Amino acid sequence: MGRFLLIPLSLLTGIFLFSFPSSAADAPFNRPANWGGTGLLEIPNARVMEYGRARIGFTQVEPYRCYYGVFSPLPGLEIGGRVTEIIGVKIKGWTRYGYYKDRAIDIKWQFLKEGKYRPAAAIGIMDPTGTRLYAAQYLVFSKQIFPFDFTFGVGNGRFGRRCLGQTEGFKLELFQSPSSWKDVRPFGGVEFAPSKWFSFVFEYNPILYHKHHQDPAQRKYFKSPVPSPFNFGVRIRPFRFLDLTFSYQRGEAFGVNASLNFGLGGSLYPIRYKLYVESEQRKLLSIEERILAALLDMGFSDVGVLKEGDTVYVEFQNESYFYATRAVGIALYTVEALLPPEVKWIDLVYKEEGIPLFRVTVYREDLVDLYAEKLTLGEFLYLSKFDFELTALPRKPRYSRPKRLSYSIKPSFYTYLNDPSGFFKYRAGLEASASYRFMKGTTISAGIGCFPLNNISTRVLPLSIPVRSDIVDYISKKFLLEFLTLEHKHKFSDSIFGYVGVGYLEVQYAGVNAQIGRSFFDGKLMLGLDSSLVFKRDPDVVMGLRDEDYYTILAKARWYTPVEGLSVDLKAGRFLAGDPGVRIQLNKDFNGVVISVWYSFTDTSVFKDPFNRGYHDKGIMISIPLRIFSGKDSRRVAYYALSPWTRDVAQDVVHRELFDFMREGSKFYLDKHIEDIVVE
């Protein structure tokens, strides 16, 4: 075997030492490996997927079946999650669970881009926490001599001489312990791409399957070395969004890998805006009534209009446009087209729940010149005035249409994964909510859920302090009173806001939540306090309460970093079960699609059970604006989260988030999307 390895490894070493002049992008050599991350077949390369893109896919190379999702939140960085299923291997006693499944996350960073003479270089961390059945860390280089791409690297763990151990924290042996380098093994390969639509792959796979005793597949399938360490494959891209790989691996198994790749935040259909066309009948009304009717037709609510001298004053709430700047642009464009010649100024107030968030004052001729391309957007904004210090409405409108009642009904589908009673649990049905605003900033809200399709169950008993580990008792019900609250928001100044909510705050808890927050640097930084005092709800009585009380006291912060679309949320203090500590959440915004990951560090000594002790709460969530699927603008957003649902560490009561309300009216957030003020 050593003689066979000597030739390709010597060739690869020579390539890196005496690199030919070349400088190229990672494409088309940035397709998914078996486990979803960018690579060849079983091994990684130093390529990464394009920034702002994602892929989801499926691989089967018996006995392994892998489901994966990967995205690039920053240039050169990949983060992925995967579920590996071992065909034919079951967990004793888990009769309805199916085959053994392992969950893992992977991180890859290309710290050196390929240059004219130098190779691309990347480091990777695979499965750094939890059971770590397939954990590994690696250093890899790739050099392109088009149409060939050569890869050489070393790795430990799954790629090395011995397995890595289980841990609840993050372990990076290859980088933390220099002595672990003795356990690495080399790997390498080459990809030949005569066309961007297909390529051929050859690799040396270093995995010692028969020595990885912690792999549940080893005992049944890998009692002796595999027939060959060499893998071969062909890749095909029949469409821009679809990648297919067909392979022969380990000298014994055929494999297939299929994945969909797509840009994050891009709309499936172009979002089109229908401009207002006034009927002849409405032209007979007063100018105030005409503006009121027009803005209601354009999807605004709580509209008020007053004309005084050469100024028209308009206030409204945005119900239809994802970004506030687009709502302002639509309102300005619509109002200007209706104004008589004597009106010179347009004064708009943007409201949420009756609270004025900001005011825009525009000279009418400047707006006309903007659309006539006599003014640039920068010049127009310089001549206009934005006022964020508004705490009360400046005028009482002569004509108004206040909106008191709002409601919605939507289909809902929730999934819950990896319970011993079955890997895939779900509930599907309808959710309805309604709110009534009876004074500025004060509303009463209610929400119910009806889930006729519901197979939620668990074999996991509630733990020592069951603030969340008994949630199945609640969500297994086919009918739920999800919330019933009296809420009040208040704007004390341009930078200080408050919130109080009382009632049935969420599915499991009733009580009171209070928040106060202050923004700094035009909204780039927000600091606040958040506290809840709650009682546990009785899952068997719709409005019943148990004699169990809990409280939280948390300091909060949100920082919109200089990195485009990246923000950080921080909570520190006493969490629901009494465990003090910190929860950190990173959020990356891709044109409205937000991917969030979080991790906690708390003192878990308050728990008496072994499942919560030493545990770190972690998870990933994605929020998707529904407008990307419809071609029509909308404020509605769908959420999907993956997180352990039977642990109690670093938990908080589910409630309204004051920082989100503050962001909507911040100068920073408006400036970020200011180009949307121009209606095209």
Domain ranges of the chain: 2-263, 282-402, 405-668
Phi then psi for residue 330, to 5 deg, are -65, -45
Q: In this structure, are strands 496-504 and 405-419 parallel, antiparallel, or unpaired?
A: unpaired
Query: Under CATH, which number does the domain 405-668 receive?
Result: 2.40.160
- Distance between CA atoms of residues 55 and 37, nearest Å: 9
Tell me how far apart the alpha carbons of residues 516 and 658 are, in angstroms, rounded to a whole number: 8
- Return the DSSP state at 211: G
Tokens of 571: 């909570």
- If DSSP codes are grouped into helix, strand and coil, which group holds residue 484? strand
Residues 261-297 have pLDDT tens digits of 998 887 778 888 888 999 999 999 999 999 999 999 9
The 3-class SS string of 134-192 reads CCEEEEEEEEEECCEEEEEEEECHHHCCCCCCCECCCCCHHHHCHHHHHHCEEEEEEEE
What sign has the CA pseudo-torsion 268, 269, 270, 274? negative
Strand 566-574 to strand 580-590: parallel, antiparallel, or no bridges (unpaired)?
antiparallel
Assigned CATH topology for domain 2-263: Porin (2.40.160)
Cβ proximity of 106 and 82 under 8 Å: yes
Which residues of the chain are under the pLDDT cut of 70?
1-24, 167-170
Residue 24 has a pLDDT of 58
For the chain, percent of residues with pLDDT exceeding 90: 74
| Per-residue pLDDT, 168 | 62
Q: What is the DSSP letter of 32?
A: B
Strand partners, 413: 428
CA dist 324 and 673 (Å) reads: 8
Q: For residues 526 and 531, what is the distance between their CA atoms, to the nearest angstrom?
A: 16
* pLDDT at position 670: 94
Please give the pLDDT value at position 452: 95
Residues 6 or more apart in contact with residue 680 via CB below 8 angstroms: 273
DSSP string of 496-558?
EEEEEEEEE-SSSEEEEEEEEEEEEGGGTEEEEEEEEEEEEEPTTSTT-EEEEEEEEEEEEEE
Identical fold between 2-263 and 405-668 = yes
What does the pLDDT look like over 650-668, one tens digit per residue?
999 999 999 999 999 999 9
pLDDT in tens, 592-649: 999 999 999 999 999 999 989 989 998 899 999 989 888 899 999 988 888 777 899 9
Please give the structure tokens belonging to residue 253: 């198994």
Of 224, 227, 225, 231, the C-alpha closest to 249 is: 231
Model pLDDT for residues 25-59, shown as the tens digit of each residue: 788 999 999 999 999 999 999 999 999 999 999 99
| The CATH fold of domain 282-402 | GMP Synthetase; Chain A, domain 3 (3.30.300)
Around Cβ 162, how many Cβ atoms within 10 Å?
14
- How far, in Å, CA of 592 to CA of 324, rounded? 13
